[in-house]
A and B are shown apart, each in its own frame.
Chain A
Amino acid sequence: MTPSRYVIGIDLGTTNSAVAYVDTALAAEKQAITVFPVPQLVHPGEIQDISVLPSFGYLPGPKELPKGSLCLPWDERRNYAVGLLARTLGEKIPQRLVESAKSWLCHNQIDRTAPLLPWGSDEEVGKISALEAVERYLRHLKEAWNHVIADGDAGCTLQNQEVFLTVPASFDTVARDLTAQAARQAGIERLVLIEEPQAAFYAWLHTMGEEWRDSVSVGDTVLVCDVGGGTTDFALITVFDEAGDLVLERLAVGEHILLGGDNMDLALAHLVKAKLAEAGHHLDLRQTLDLRHACRVAKERFFSEPDITSLPITLVGSGSRLIGGTVQTDLTREEAEGIVLEGFFSPCRAEERPVQKRRSALQELGLPYAADAAIPKHIAKFLGENGSKTNEPFLRPTAMLFNGGVFKTERFQERIARTLESWLSAAGGEVPLRILQGADHDLAVARGAAKYGLSRRGQGIRIRAGTARSYYIGIETSMPAIPGMEPPIKALCVAPFGMEEGTEIVVPAEELGLVVGEPVAFRFLSSRNRGEDKAGQIIEEWKRAGIEETSPVEAELAAQAGSGGEALVPVELRARATELGTLELWCVARSGEGEWKMEFNVRE
């Protein structure tokens, strides 16, 4: 395919999405990565261009808004809202607000194609699926782009451009597949996925230009720590030498942690609310919303202006009595630091691990929010999981790159870096940890995604990545049947960690036979930490080996003309790492007479 005029990066964030692009039709020296301000509804009937599209959807009731409130310049009959208006409407009527759709997309205990969101709401709101929610955000971005930039020129429409869409590094191939499916349904055709921490690293490479080679050296391992509004994501990138050239490789990725800056604002708001309650003031809905906003502002001021010892938190009355209904209290530095620094950035030892939620028999099937808010403990766990790569208790980074709105406050970066240095020092290694200076913490991922697009065109270095997990299918072990007990399964490795895109592996395995005309299903498993497993390897005690279950895979071999009834076809399994950034499993007939793609079943 011919290279498109625009190279577009889309950051599909949990709380905010953004678009950045490069216009390659401009003269080389004028080509810059530009953020596309997204036109969106900000109030009923009112459109403004904003640098991010809040990733929220709102499903209004039939009589809720005046006619024409949800009209978009490109669609007069839109009956739902996404973006800023969706968020503000949803704050007032939470049961109609779709949020965190991206985190639901990787929640493998729910059917991600079934209308389940907003989670826990009444059916009458007309729920949508996680897949559809993500599709709506992407469709809005596409339509906004086509309205503003393409403006009637078919060659410039988003569907004809190369789009680089970010996913959390922790997404398994099923969640990546669903993201790609949502993008296709939204009409984005030329798509490649890129992991968010990698995109943040590409953004750093872009700001550094050729000077990046002076900032890192052979043997460096960079820990990318990305704390967004609602999620935290880690990745390790190493620098090594290959025939005299510096090579970057993504070594490992962390798990999906539902913890972010919004939690900090909520924690502060909780404290202030309790203080006000003590003084006899009880907040209503509108004041509670104002309080969250006030706490975010206070957090940013406390940690960037060291001289402030106390800030007033004022909440005006929510009825028409503005001054008479005003309540006020002070938030002191001591309190704010207690909550934010001690709660979220509290130093710990390298051996410490986040507290796990105690599992009760009756557990609500909501989003698995992190039970422990201490970010350093999550880092300790991540580095500990990867210690085996260097035969040490934990993998030692030499540099860090911070990303996400939280780290606009430099003190949080320092706090984490000091904690990691204490681990390095206790382990008797090189201590100073360099902080790579990233920029534009809110928009770096979108910019980095566009930069990745340029790198794929040969303009700049690429990070070697490959699949971020190893994948397995469950094979039943032969044992005498015990009523009421499923036979245990073993894990057969079908795709090793780090399979590079465009490559294919034939899984060496004993004879496998598939019955024609009958659906077959395999349990499908994956691990982020088993870089050593080869395709064909069998792991018996997989649960203990850090392998977790994901959605099952299925295939149905259509009966071929001429072949009679229930023929058993000998097949071999093949794993393909696609250019798009997903993994496909295929059953290929040994006779060479056909191949069948195995589909992920996300309806569990």
Chain B
Amino acid sequence: MAKVRILLALRCFWRVLTDPTVADRVREWLDEKKVPGLTEKAAEEKLSTEAVQLLALMQREGRFVDFLQEEIAAFDNAQIGAAVRSVHEGCRRTLEQYFEIEPVLSDGEGSQVTVPEGFEPSRIQLLGEVRGDPPFEGVLKHHGWRASRAHLPTLPEGWDIQTIAPAEVEIE
């Protein structure tokens, strides 16, 4: 961990030294004291608007929260299966509407792949008998997913961001 931070510090040092715009931005940032760790706690207490909004979208189109919140132990598989089709259809529509999602590795699952030197561990996870240094040869088990675009719609001004789904009252 320490080694990584030293590297990062050196990178910052070099960028600030060579790039005046980076230097200006770092100065602004330090002056505002937006140092992580100091404000982290406050942020935690605030609701993450986008996270709730995503739940709201999944609920609106696919009744996602209803589905997860329901006790399903008592239902048989056929009954669950019937309902899941509509949850799947709606959630998938949301995914397609607001995200562009693609595999991390485009090779087919089951094919032989080479993990290069300097690979990004957050993008590729190694399993099994990992020994020595990359490059590694292995079998692609899951091609992974990454979002190349994620854009949630802007909420209207007066919208209560805590509401995942409004209560519905039918007037007879």
A residues adjacent to B (C-beta < 8 A): 43-48, 65-69, 71, 284-286, 312, 314, 316-317, 320-324, 326, 328
Q: A43-B153, A45-B155 are in contact. Are A321 and B160 (CB under 8 A)?
A: no
Does B35 have its Cβ within 8 Å of any Cβ on chain A?
A: no
Q: A316-B83, A316-B86 are in contact. Are A323 and B157 (CB under 8 A)?
A: no
Does B75 have its Cβ within 8 Å of any Cβ on chain A?
A: yes
Within residues 144 to 172 of chain B, which ones have a CB less than 8 A from any CB in chain A? 153-160, 168, 170
Cβ–Cβ contact A326 & B156, under 8 A: no
A284 to B83, CA, bound (A): 17
A285 to B67, CA, bound (A): 20
Name A66's closest neighbour in chain B (CB-CB).
B158
Does B106 have its Cβ within 8 Å of any Cβ on chain A?
A: no
A44 to B160, CA, bound (A): 12
Cβ–Cβ contact A45 & B156, under 8 A: yes
B8 to chain A, nearest CB (A): 39
> Could you mark each residue 76-94 of chain B with 1 if its beta carbon is under 8 Å from any beta carbon of chain A, else 0?
0001101101110000000
Cβ–Cβ contact B79 & A66, under 8 A: no
> Could you mark each residue 60-74 of chain B with 1 if its beta carbon is under 8 Å from any beta carbon of chain A, else 0?
100100110110100
Which of B72, B87, B156, B160 sits near A68, CB closer than 8 Å?
B156
Given contacts A65-B156, A322-B67, A324-B70, list 8 more A-B pairs with CB under 8 A. A43-B153, A47-B153, A67-B157, A68-B156, A71-B157, A321-B70, A323-B70, A323-B83
Cβ–Cβ contact A71 & B156, under 8 A: yes
B72 to chain A, nearest CB (A): 6
Cβ–Cβ contact A312 & B82, under 8 A: yes
Cβ–Cβ contact B157 & A68, under 8 A: yes
Q: A322-B67, A323-B75 are in contact. Are A328 and B153 (CB under 8 A)?
A: no
A65 to B82, CA, bound (A): 33
Residues of B within 8 A of A43 (CB): 60, 153
Residues of B within 8 A of A67 (CB): 156-158
Those 8 A-B pairs whose CB atoms lie nearest each other, nearest first:
A67-B158, A45-B156, A68-B156, A68-B157, A66-B158, A46-B153, A322-B66, A323-B83
Name B157's closest neighbour in chain A (CB-CB).
A68
Cβ–Cβ contact A322 & B83, under 8 A: yes
Cβ–Cβ contact B85 & A314, under 8 A: yes
Cβ–Cβ contact A320 & B160, under 8 A: no
Name B67's closest neighbour in chain A (CB-CB).
A322
Name A76's closest neighbour in chain B (CB-CB).
B157
A8 to B75, CA, bound (A): 56
Name A314's closest neighbour in chain B (CB-CB).
B82
A404 to B64, CA, bound (A): 35
Cβ–Cβ contact A66 & B82, under 8 A: no
Residues of B within 8 A of A66 (CB): 156-160
A120 to chain B, nearest CB (A): 17
Cβ–Cβ contact B75 & A45, under 8 A: no
A95 to chain B, nearest CB (A): 10
Name B64's closest neighbour in chain A (CB-CB).
A322
Cβ–Cβ contact B60 & A326, under 8 A: no
> Could you mark each residue 33-67 of chain B with 1 if its beta carbon is under 8 Å from any beta carbon of chain A, else 0?
00000000000000000000000000010010011
A314 to B78, CA, bound (A): 12
Residues of A within 8 A of B82 (CB): 312, 314, 326, 328
Residues of A within 8 A of B75 (CB): 323-324
Cβ–Cβ contact B60 & A320, under 8 A: no
Which of B79, B154, B168 sits near A326, CB closer than 8 Å?
B79
Residues of B within 8 A of A71 (CB): 156-157
Q: A68-B158, A320-B66, A320-B69 are in contact. Are A45 and B153 (CB under 8 A)?
A: yes
Name B86's closest neighbour in chain A (CB-CB).
A316
Residues of A within 8 A of B63 (CB): 316, 322
A393 to chain B, nearest CB (A): 51
Residues of B within 8 A of A326 (CB): 79, 82-83
B42 to chain A, nearest CB (A): 26
Cβ–Cβ contact A285 & B87, under 8 A: no
Cβ–Cβ contact B154 & A45, under 8 A: yes
Residues of B within 8 A of A68 (CB): 156-159
A396 to B87, CA, bound (A): 51
B54 to chain A, nearest CB (A): 14
Which of B85, B153, B160, B170 sits near A285, CB closer than 8 Å?
B170
Q: A314-B82, A328-B82 are in contact. Are A322 and B87 (CB under 8 A)?
A: yes
A45 to B168, CA, bound (A): 19
Residues of B within 8 A of A284 (CB): 170
A320 to B63, CA, bound (A): 9
A312 to B82, CA, bound (A): 9
A321 to B170, CA, bound (A): 17
Name A323's closest neighbour in chain B (CB-CB).
B83
Name B90's closest neighbour in chain A (CB-CB).
A316
Cβ–Cβ contact B86 & A320, under 8 A: no
Residues of A within 8 A of B97 (CB): 48
A43 to B53, CA, bound (A): 13
Cβ–Cβ contact A323 & B67, under 8 A: yes
Cβ–Cβ contact B80 & A323, under 8 A: yes
A65 to chain B, nearest CB (A): 8
A433 to B84, CA, bound (A): 47
A46 to B60, CA, bound (A): 13
A285 to B155, CA, bound (A): 27
Residues of B within 8 A of A321 (CB): 66, 70
A290 to B76, CA, bound (A): 23
A312 to B86, CA, bound (A): 12
A48 to B154, CA, bound (A): 12
A261 to B31, CA, bound (A): 65
Cβ–Cβ contact A322 & B70, under 8 A: yes
A71 to B153, CA, bound (A): 13
A67 to B157, CA, bound (A): 6
Name A70's closest neighbour in chain B (CB-CB).
B156
Residues of B within 8 A of A45 (CB): 153-157, 159
A296 to B142, CA, bound (A): 37
B163 to chain A, nearest CB (A): 9
A312 to B170, CA, bound (A): 28
A65 to B85, CA, bound (A): 30
